[in-house]
Amino acid sequence: MTDQIVAFALLGAGWVLYLLLALSVLSIAVAAERAMFFYQRRIDHKTLQKETVRALGEDSVNALRNRYKGHQAMAIRVALAGVDNRQNGIEAASEAMNSAKLASKEEYEKLTVILGTLGNNAPFIGLFGTVLGIIKAFNDLHADPTGGINAVMGSTSEALVATAVGILVAIPAVVAFNIFNRLMRSHLAHSDALAHSILSAMHTQARDNADSGEDSGEDSGEDSGEGSGEDSGEDSGEDSGEDSGEDSGEDSGEDSGEGSGEGSGEDSGEDSGEDSGEESE
């Protein structure tokens, strides 16, 4: 087992250089893919926020959906999730937007771990190659003691190149990782701001609807009360007038009848007495 380890160490830094070259190609490929990913998802977040709030206020959600249909930007997915679930209540819309944000975040973080890993470990891989190169240099010196410094120069220089290549691979990977990580945090921040704007607009709309309902109920109650009072007053007045007229008519008829009867009786008695007296004479 020990002989196998020594044999592996004596391979030198050559294979480490090839490994670092492959890792550098991988780093460039990942950086290019992520750059294209973020480029395709670029968007004016301020314009999107204004259009979304306006669509909620004007109830023109279909136009907003048709305009951004097929766009995979995190903020757009959050906005559409919110407006699509607005009828289910504010809590449901909030949960839908949070779910859309988390799903998009996973896509935004994809492959960036490779850049972070290379940035952190490529120098150590180069250092490992340097150690192997130095081991090989000392072994060459042991095999040819008369060679002197010339016997170890080649292996030592190869070992130092491995360290340099490791650092060279790590620097671009770290820079790319920081850039993409910063872009991801920016998209998350804009998505959170948009989600809060949508929830604020929904709260405002719900409050306005509630106030409108209260005003409508008060107006309806007032109109109903006024109409009922007017009808009651008219009916009461008509009934009172009819009763008063009937009572007045009855009383007037009775009084007129009694007066007429009494007057007729008196006149008849007087005329009869006078005629009877004249005939007696």
Could you read off the pLDDT of 234-253 as tens digits, one per residue?
544 444 444 443 444 444 33
In a domain, 45, yes or no: yes
Residues ≥6 apart with Cβ < 8 Å to 27: 114, 115, 118, 169, 172, 173, 176
State the distance between the two ends of the chain, measured CA to CA, in whole angstroms. Answer: 185
DSSP secondary structure of 72-131: --HHHHHHHHHHHTGGG-HHHHHHHHHHHHHHHHHHHHTTHHHHHHHHHHHHHHHHHHHH
**pLDDT at residue 133 in the model:** 83
**pLDDT at residue 148 in the model:** 63
What is the span of the domain harbouring residue 128? Answer: 2-221
Band of residue 56 on the pLDDT scale cut at 50, 70, 90: confident
Spatial separation of the C-alpha atoms in residues 133 and 10, rounded to whole Å: 8
In a domain, 274, yes or no: no
Look at residue 278 and tell me whether its pLDDT is greater than 80: no
**pLDDT at residue 223 in the model:** 55
**pLDDT at residue 29 in the model:** 95
Tokens in use for 52?
Answer: 């979304």
What radius of gyration do the chain's Cα atoms show?
52
CB distance 161 to 13 below 8 Å = yes
In a domain, 77, yes or no: yes
pLDDT tens digits for 97-120? Answer: 999 999 999 899 989 999 999 999
Sign of CA dihedral 181, 185, 190, 196: positive
In a domain, 167, yes or no: yes
In a domain, 238, yes or no: no
pLDDT tens digits for 167-197? Answer: 999 999 999 999 999 999 999 999 999 999 8
Q: How many domains does the chain have?
A: 1
Spatial separation of the C-alpha atoms in residues 237 and 101, rounded to whole Å: 70
In a domain, 260, yes or no: no
CA distances from 110 to 31, 43, 90, 219, 274 (A): 11, 20, 31, 58, 139
**pLDDT at residue 147 in the model:** 61
Chain mean pLDDT for the chain: 76
Region 204-209: what's the mean pLDDT?
A: 78
In a domain, 129, yes or no: yes
Q: Taking CA 145 as the corner, what is the angle to CA 141 and CA 147, rounded to the nearest 5 degrees? A: 80
Q: Output b/e per residue, 117-145; b: 16+ Cβ within 10 A.
A: ebbebbbebbbbbbbbbbbbbebbbeeee
In a domain, 192, yes or no: yes
**pLDDT at residue 70 in the model:** 80
